């Protein structure tokens, strides 16, 4: 398994990394974004959307659970499962339809549903590197990409 790590020193760098990833995405690709509140999951998704040619403003879909953005070639399904605790709710929010859908999925707080998501996915771990920041400054972020399955390996290799 060939994981890759990046350190971003500003929001724009996280967005730029997301853009590179977004340009590679295809229908059926599943990204599981894991990290604390404010780690940068939504900022990374903003970049992914930009890389797919999406011009809409991407925000955290916490209250909507799912946002669908129309890209140049295909839609992006952006989930935030923070408020969900029961896998039975996934069916109602169209989760499985999106996984099989005509565009990739980016799933914030998806780790708790890894059984439902399935084995083929790209896990993305975002971490605030607090010990690397001066007092009062935003810390850099580590973005660690851990592929599961041949397709996710290909995505990571392409970065
Ligand atoms: N290097 C960086 N990468 C990403 N975000 C950064 C970075 N430095 C500072 N930030 C700031 O940190 C915040 C990250 O917020 P974001 O909404 O992306 O987090 P999140 O992981 O989606 O949180 P939540 O779990 O609440 O949805 C933004 O305000 C962003 O500007
Ligand atoms: Mg978010």
Which two three-digit tokens encode residue 10? 């500003």
Atom of ligand 1 minimally distant from the CA of 9:
1
pLDDT band per the 50, 70, 90 thresholds, residue 12: very high
Which two three-digit tokens encode residue 94? 């169209």
Q: How do residues 75-120 score in pLDDT, each as one tens digit? A: 999 999 999 989 999 999 999 999 999 999 999 999 999 999 999 9
Integer Cα distance of 19 and 12 in angstroms: 10
Is 38 a pocket residue for ligand 1 (Cβ < 6 Å)? yes
Tell me the CATH number at 128. 3.40.50.300
Place of tokens 């390996």: 153
Tally of domains in the chain? 1
Atom of ligand 1 minimally distant from the CA of 139:
8
Domain hosting residue 149, numbered range:
4-157
Q: How do residues 55-79 score in pLDDT, each as one tens digit? A: 999 987 667 799 999 999 999 999 9
Helices (H), 25-149: 41-51, 88-92, 95-99, 114-117
Q: How do residues 33-55 score in pLDDT, each as one tens digit? A: 999 999 999 999 999 999 999 99
- Please name the helix (run of DSSP H) or strand (run of DSSP E) that holds residue 105, with its range, or none: strand 105-108
Q: Contact at 8 Å (CB) between 1 and 103?
A: no
CA angle 18–40–78, rounded 5-degree value: 65
């Amino acid at each position: 398994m060939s994981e890759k790590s990046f350190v971003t020193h500003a929001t724009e760098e996280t967005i730029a990394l997301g853009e590179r990833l977004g340009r590679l995405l295809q229908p059926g690709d599943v990204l599981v974004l894991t990290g604390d509140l404010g780690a940068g999951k939504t900022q990374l998704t903003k970049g992914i959307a930009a890389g797919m040619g999406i011009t809409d403003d991407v925000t955290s879909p916490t209250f909507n659970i799912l946002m669908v953005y129309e890209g140049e070639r295909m839609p992006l399904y952006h989930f935030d499962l923070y408020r969900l605790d029961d896998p039975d709710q996934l069916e109602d929010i169209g989760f499985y339809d999106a996984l099989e859908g005509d565009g990739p999925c980016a799933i914030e707080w998806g780790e708790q549903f890894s059984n439902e998501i399935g084995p083929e996915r790209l896990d993305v771990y975002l971490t605030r590197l607090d010990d690397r920041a001066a007092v009062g400054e935003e810390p850099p972020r580590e973005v660690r990409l851990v592929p599961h399955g041949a397709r996710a390996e290909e995505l990571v290799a392409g970065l």
